[in-house]
Amino acid sequence: MKIAGKFPSVRLRRVRNSKWMRELISENNLSVKDLILPIFIRDGKAKVESIKSMPGVNRYTVDKLDLIMKKVIKYKIPMVALFPYTPKNKKDELGSEALNKNNLICKSIKLIKKRYSKIGIMCDVALDPYTSHGHDGVLDEKGINNDETIKILVKQALLQAQMGCDVIAPSDMMDGRIGIIRKALDKNNFQNISILSYSAKYASSFYGPFRDAVGSKGNLKNDKKTYQMDFRNSNEAYREIGLDIKEGADIVMVKPGLPYLDIIRNIKQNFKIPVFAYQVSGEYSLIKFGIKYNLINDDAILESLIAFKRAGASAIVTYFALDIAERLKKI
């Protein structure tokens, strides 16, 4: 990039001198239309349970979802993402509860669609909240069995679509699952259901609080590095993205978010496809605890979210959705 002009005829501070001028020339902005709110659901009745590792985030029983959904409506957040906290007695090696038409996700989809039909619903397709070992797929003597896992994931995706889910979001990182799920959805007259693929999902240290939130942390045996991506790699991410697009992904996800802004930028520039970013639990909690202990101020929330937009993210899955929506409403 060639820069024209020089000091003193060029003084870039002139366009920073007033707030109204800074607003006029801002290159990136955030609105509630950019936000997706994750919601954790637990079993039981009449319970709202705080998650200690994620200050300000709760688990809701299905009958208490109105408490948070009314806020979603109030702030006009376009979509929610649903995640279950599955009781231990409903977990097994195959993640069978994922296929139960009366599981927490299915009940929640039906309630939200009945009472809040204008809100989009995104559902994870993965087995880790349901398996006794905490992995995203079926284990055999060699590790995660890719192809056997896909057979279950396809059934899970179809069940979610039947319940009314709008966006199917495979987060499992199995090879080939996008194409097979797309074919199954189309065959069953779900051609209009979108697929949001977690295409660039890294084996990250930032997932700890989430695993606590869905109850898989204590169950996880070994790590997920044989299927989630190596954080040292970028070309691998672009290969994953390219394959998922060919298989039928409508939108792709980068997860985690802030450590991978370069991946978001390059996907947006080279693939010309909607890119969502997931500001994951570890990112959220680091900022929240930093604010709590006065290490940073709460302007860091907006700064972190604008970073995603600057990198090229079309939307952001963030636990800050309600907080920032309230702030944006006051601006």
Q: What is the DSSP string of 192-211?
A: T-EEEEEEEEB--GGGHHHH
> Among the options 107, 255, 268, 288, which is catalytic?
255
Helix (H) / strand (E) element for 242: namely helix 235-247
> Among the options 64, 91, 107, 201, which is catalytic?
201
Q: How far is CA 285 from its chain centroid?
A: 15
Calpha distance 139→102 (Å, rounded): 25
Residue 279 CB-density burial (10 A; 0-12 exposed, 13-18 middle, 19+ buried) = buried
Annotated catalytic residue 255: yes
Q: How many CA atoms lie within 13 A of 194 on its CB side?
A: 13
Calpha distance 145→139 (Å, rounded): 6
Contact between 156 and 224 under an 8 Å Cβ cutoff? The reply is: no
Tokens encoding 190: 């779900």
Enzyme catalytic residues? 201, 255
